[in-house]
Each structure stands twice: as C-alpha cells, then as structure tokens.
Amino acid sequence: MSRPDPEQLTMAREGKKVVLVEMDLRRPTMNALWGKSTAGLTAVLGGKAKLEEAVMTCQDSGNLGLLPAGQTLANPAELLNGPGMEEVLGSLRKRFEYVLVDSPPVLLTPDTLRVASLLDGVLFVVQAERTPRRLVDRALRQMERGSVKVLGLVLNRVPERSSAYGSYYGGAYRYSSKSGGAGTA
C-alpha cells in the first residue's frame, strides 16, 4: 500500500491497531488514493477471497490496515445486507482496536443505514454550504429510526471566509466572534 497522509496514521502511530474499511461499493475512492489491491470487500463478501488476503497493511505502520472496496458494483445491497458483512466486521473487531468505515451517503443508499446499525457509532459528515439543512435533519431522523448511534457531526470543506475561527495569516491564528471582537493566538 502506498504511504498514507500523516492524519490517517495518528491513531496507528500512537500504537493503536486501526483498519479503514471502504464500504462505498458503487463509487470507491480509496484504491486510487492508497494504491490498487487484488482483492477487496466485494471479493470477501462474495466468497472469492479471504479477509486476511484483502486487508492491506501500510508500509509505514504495521498498525494501519485498509480493506478497499474492490470491484465496483452497480447494486451491492445484497452483499452488504447479508450475514457476511456482520462476520467481516466481527473478524475485524477481533484483529483491530478501531474499525473505521467509509460509507456512501445515508440518504442515497439503503444499505448504508443497515451497515451503520452494525457499528458502535457513526460520525456524520456534512459538506458546508452544499448540504441543505433539511437533508441533514432527514438523514439524522433516519439514523435514529434505524438504531444508529450518532457520535457527532463533522462539517467539512468549510470555506475560510465563513469560518467562525477565521484563518491562518502569516503563521498567526486569527479568530473572530459574532459580536465583532477579534483576536490572535
């Protein structure tokens, strides 16, 4: 596997055994970011590969693994909703301290909600200035009805101009408050 970004190694560098699981079987992205593999989650769930063969280990850290999606599928719901997904997650939990799952959007694919209910918790990621609040509310209600434990919400791609904390200028961290005050740390 190619070298990951430092942020992806944080827990692994602290000595924690971590695996990233790409569950977006329709539009996978991890293979392109981390390098190709011969097997992935689809091969494991389809009985064509063993889990041990499909999990790649990062060269920089024996503590970080990746289970890529594998072959792209037009309709992966049958694979993800079957008992094999529970078995894969159970096996990964025995081998790793943290199993991090990257999934497709909860409102676009019904299998996302099903698999999310098998996890210990979910960090719900929302794109700033793009995801309408009504869709966020709808997704959170669906997860609640599906017995998904939402641990928190991550707001990503926040434009610098709209950040409540301001930005970095010349090495100083600038922030402002709604009352108009500003400061530098």
Q: What is the pLDDT of residues 41-95, one digit of tens each?
A: 999 998 999 999 899 887 666 788 889 988 877 778 888 888 899 999 999 999 9
What is the SS3 assignment for 127? strand
Query: Token pair of 95, please?
Result: 């081998």
pTM of the predicted model as reported, rounded to 2 decimal places = 0.75
> Which residue, among 139, 26, 149, 35, has the nearest Cα to 76 in the 3D structure?
26
Q: How far apart are CA 120 and CA 178, in angstroms?
A: 36
Q: What is the pLDDT of residues 109-129, one digit of tens each?
A: 888 888 898 899 998 889 888
Within 8 A by CB and 6+ apart from 123, the residues are 150, 151, 152, 153, 154
**What are the structural domains, with CATH classification, of the chain?**
6-184 (3.40.50.300)
Grade residue 32 by pLDDT with cuts at 50, 70 and 90.
Answer: low
134 to 55, 103, 139, 158: CA distances (angstroms):
37, 20, 9, 18
